[in-house]
Structure 1
């Protein structure tokens, strides 16, 4: 047994053979002493120099391999014990190198080859070994990932292996040449002494054959294996078997280690390919996680596995069990919060946890024949762009191998990217479904809106009839009060029929009612005053009244046009007429329209045209102007200081491809320095009836239709609109319009035009003359009225009408100003309170007057354009004495005033 373990190296075998020959040739050696001396020198060179060179080369390779293995072990585990072989290798390689270099002093070519290896080893130590160890010590995971991703160390290692192989091959060739030379000399010697040493020659041949076969056989196997690796034909599971215990055994062991390393790398690549291909076509996150764990667990020799996916809610981030392998639900926690348990801590630290000594009661692997206790646990994060998307946990009966950890590390990006991709597709599908539902709801609400508009018209007619009836019964106070109460009750009962409207639609109707009734109120009041002129007005007053009526009519028509434009767009009845548009005329056209607005607001306005803009483009000029007018109107409305700028230029060439058109694309931007739009509001402002501030006491008016119309017109012109904005810094709306567009199918819009004409004719109907009662005129004269309204047109119309009755009118632009006035002066006889105003609305102001100022008996008549369900009740609850809707009927208004002024007189 001891003899078998003794290493009988090649030099020993050669010496033994030669000793046998020397005993047989004792006498012959005396005769040919000189010749044998030469042969002995060659043999010594072969047995000592060549073998020593091979040993040192192998030792130098082993030093490099030890350093690489130690470095990788330390990177994977973080254990300093793995640095011992690295440190030993780094100390020994230069010593072995110097020894080898001294042996090659007479071989210039091999010496040069060896000198080329030294800088490669030094470069690997500096740029890979030391760099990776220092990065690991500094816990610089990003540097480690970048290093291994760039394969810097592997490239140097591969180059080193190539250099060593080349060096060894050339050394082997030199050894073979020396052996051949030695054999030839032996043959010559045998021929010379053939007759004397036939027996010796036979013994020599047998000895040489045995030694050569034992050495060359292993070398040939290694060479064939290397050639197979080069030609990618080798079975990496095969191993070279050697029975001898000499240097050829070391060579075979080194080759077997190389095959093991290549087999691991091949296994990793094959596993990566199998797992990567299984992601294709998966659109559900649960299916993805289950497929991943089912495929990966057997590859890692795991008997248990579970996937926890990242979830975020109002309570923070947690990881929820989504898929498992060979588990029972009662044995596995359903979720972990960040930092909770090993799963949560793994997600927090973003590193792998590897435990090799699990207690027996940690978890049981059950089968039909019994149960076993896994002893090894692996918990790893799936990190994508610095964020942990999932955590995977595996348990095994055997230790996890290096290739298992390498495979899991390489799969992080691919699996993490698949998670984000599938979640993105699921979110897109959900949003698409919601969008379809919202589109259907919006269509239904549009139909309800039309029906409610008809009901509101009927409500106004009934209110007019009720007011006429109250006027005729003016001298009967009790009957008038009873009839008024009856009419109010009827209105409340009728308004309950609007219960089915949603809050979204209610807000729009409130704002739209306010925007429509405000100019209509001015038209009705001033029109009636013009009818009652009786030669009391001079031409200047008539001209001013007419100008206000005209302005209000224009505002009303513009609102109606916006509603009709949106209705035509939704019905698909917009007609696009393509014609040549002179771009050079646009700047002056826009300046003519908006220079007065800019001058009034003291805002700088300029139009900039890039030199490469073509002078003429083909599009619908009317729609293009309407888009620019809407955008500029918005820009000036929301800009109190600074500038508004229009820029016209050609869009980048790729926009033609995005819009799927040929020819150039115009880019026209409108930039302001106004209030800006928050990021969360930038998408909804393009939806119909949506505004950044949709409340009734918002600072800026409007229906919220302008941007929706701009977007739809731009789309019909074959282009698109983009927004860039930041709160308090301003906004930039850019429209991209192709210069050529096929004319769409002509659509009929005569019905909508007739509807618009009919609406303009709601506005032109004359209000009958007030039936004056001379006995009641003294009620108005000298009475002091506080008018709270933010609309200059309404204020002008009401002040004119009230002052003609001899009343004293004081103005407040919002609820806060009204409270300030009432604190200083309490001798008002009546208050008119608008509801929708900036700073403080009518509801808040009436509550403050009743509760804070203790003015519980002062009559307050609410003026509101919000003809919505429950509006009367809301006004009364806020503290109003009575309620009247805009547009105001001046006769009805004076009738209400008579009631409350008479009641005040009776109380006094």
Structure 2
């Protein structure tokens, strides 16, 4: 399946992109329909109303001419002719306008032509005629004209024609209005149909993606549970067919299991081989038992033990025991020092490994035939730097790394056993010689009495022999003590192996529990959302989505912890040293953990000592991850009281104690102090070990996998620092992080910055020595005093207008949706140039959210233009940047930003910044 090849984040993004594409297509359809509807409405409002107005204007022109003509006839005052002449001049213009408007309607054009003929007829037979007769004082003709009533008839005909024309236009307008209403109804039907289809598509996509994610997590969880049930079957492996973060989790777990399996095999093999030494008093028996036990463990088909001997004052190594090695006639039985691989191995005191042996080197015989080994291993057996023996092994397969590790671990133990057995054999030989001498002395007692001088000499020899025997006895007792010590060490190794296995079992159980807990919430709530059929209230949908999102974050955080530790153990973590602004640490930590402190009703403050340098060189990302882990633990295990973080310079005596060097250079001491449950003394030495916790059971009060402090330790080691913990039960704990400045570390290559030191103490915390401290709050940088009125979100955000400048439609959609919920009016500009144009027309926005990376004009240039070109120096601007560089804040502030926030945006953090600047605006106004 295609989704199995994608990671979790691309899967989710693919779903969102698909839904956004559907929404975009729907918007295109709806937009087209709205445009058509708008054209129809515009036609009615502009065309039909204009026609009606112009017809009434034409009628007015005619009435003005009739009124002017009658006034002049009655009074003889030519001023009445002004309205006549004005109407005579304007009616033709009005008529032409009407004719242009209705040119697409032939019937109305014909009616309008008839109206024109009537008007011209009236002007010719009535208006002009009567005025001319009046000017000629032809009263009789005027009386005759009015007696015949010719002008009134023509005017009545004209009014009837205009009324008919208007009625027709009104009917056309009504028809168009009905058509618009029908189109509006059709638009609603299309809109609701599209919304329904998009909702169905969104649910289907959500089901497909959630199943794709949860199915792979189920596989990992099921395999971890199976491993836990099998009580330490380290040979089992997790198989995952997906290519997402779950695959990385499975691979990291498989690597961990392989490492544990290798360690377990080595320890158990050492125990098996070491138990063979007990009770053996003969060097040949010891060698035979050793090679016959070791060869099968290493999957070797041939093995020989060569023991160091002195023959004629010459050192050589003689074959004393073998495994499937008899019958090799051409093989040498002894080697001088430096002779052949055996002799050279004894001289070099190192392991020789040869692969791809020639066919005639050695043969492995059996009843069915003869085989040729492909790999040869020659290893020295050392005691106090001396080569006591050499072992030679041959295998049909290549030797593995665990085989070489086992050989390396057994070298000195087998050598000690050889020395011990040899000592016992020498003591027994000397005792046997002593017994024989005693018997001889008893048998020759009379002869000795007569030979006093000889007897004295023999007695002196006997005394010397006894002294030598006493020395050998003491030496034997010393070796016996060493053997007892070796036995105790083996028992301790066995106990450590058992403890490690228990920690491993607890870790796997906890891992299964930690994975199932958020996964259970995701599966149940997503199923409820899928099966709701639209009956669920919006508030329930929002709450369920919030819980699913939180569970997803917990799951992702757990995966990140395991992957981080796996990368550290694999040596894949790279330290990126850069300048880190220390003065920003209090702000970022307060911004991150102030809501947690408020929720748990705990006091929280960050203290920055004044003598701390503003900038150090280290890996800022790893430093922040260490601090976040330590603060998270502090809040996690603290129910009442306070949590504090103090940044200071390390004391000289402390530097010398922890780093074993002179107190030169800069080392920060960052202390995280809480009033939580504390750590028992007997547990303080294990809390930094991977998978180990004070309480590792699945029914413990506090959750977690026990990886946080282990990751802190590894990151601290990579940064060249160390962590010290002081704790007391029911009083609290203080974790102090010592981080060196990378500039000094580079100038002292021989220093011991990289020491991996974790110190623990149950002492009460000492008070901080020297210097003044002050509490730096995030809001202190804005001039807001404690006695200012506190505005609720409804009071502060309602009715505010925000200019959002961002070219990413997804970010715009998300931000507009979140801001409009708060009652904020949002105006959007796609780049800095559009923002400048909008501010030029309307500069009275309450706040500007400015993205940095945009086409046409970026955020830096836009902010400079706003401040300098438009001279809007008091308009709050919050920069939205995806860059995580250390100097990004200074760069944004220098360009004109009031504040800045990094992407991905945390909406509560953004709302917090907006509250600060909107409150400041309220105060200024």
| TM-score normalized by the length of structure 1 | 0.30
| TM-score normalized by the length of structure 2 | 0.29
Instruction: Pick 1 or 2: higher relative contact order, CA cutoff 8 A, min separation 6.
Output: 1
